[in-house]
Amino acid sequence: MASTLQTQDSPRPGGFPAIRYKRNIPKRGPSGLVILTGLTAISTLGFYWASQTIQELRELKRERIWSRIYLVPMLQAELDRDSYRRTRASLQREAEIMKDVPDWKVGESVYNTKRYVPPSVFVLPEK
């Protein structure tokens, strides 16, 4: 009697594929440490550039201030020369105008002091 052929329930030839037990989590980007390091690196680089800029701006400002400081004696000398010329011209004008007045002293100070008082009025040339 032909017995029914018993077949064992065995794996198919070549075996089963591996069970996919790994979860497929989408990549959430770099880890926190990487982000922190990256941010620090970028900011440090940026701060280096920013400090360069600050130094440069400071240098420019210092240059501007010192160029002014060195220029001051020259400007002062120009002012002195100009005010002397104007004073002389004003005295001449005064003498010319007041020549008919007998007791007039040309160039007498209008202030009650013997100190030098810088002139407060300049006569500008007429157009």
122 contributes a contact to other proteins by CB under 8 A: no
Does 45 contact other proteins by CB under 8 A?
A: yes
Q: State which of residues 34, 54, 71, 95 lies at the interface with other proteins (CB under 8 A).
A: 54
Residue 45 Cβ vs other proteins, minimum distance, rounded to whole Å: 7
Comparison of 52 and 83: residue with beta carbon closer to other proteins: 52
The one-character DSSP state at 22 is: S
Does residue 76 belong to the site contacting other proteins (CB under 8 A)? no
What distance in Å separates the CA atoms of residue 92 and residue 87, rounded to the nearest whole number?
9
Task: Determine, following the binding rule CB under 8 A, whether residue 51 of this chain makes contact with other proteins.
Answer: yes
**Contact between 86 and 122 (Cβ < 8 Å):** yes
CA angle 8, 9, 12 (to 5 degrees): 115
Residue 63 near other proteins by CB under 8 A: no
Question: CA separation (Å) from 63 to 55, 57, 117?
Answer: 12, 10, 36
Binding site for other proteins (CB under 8 A): 39, 42-43, 45-47, 49-58, 61-62
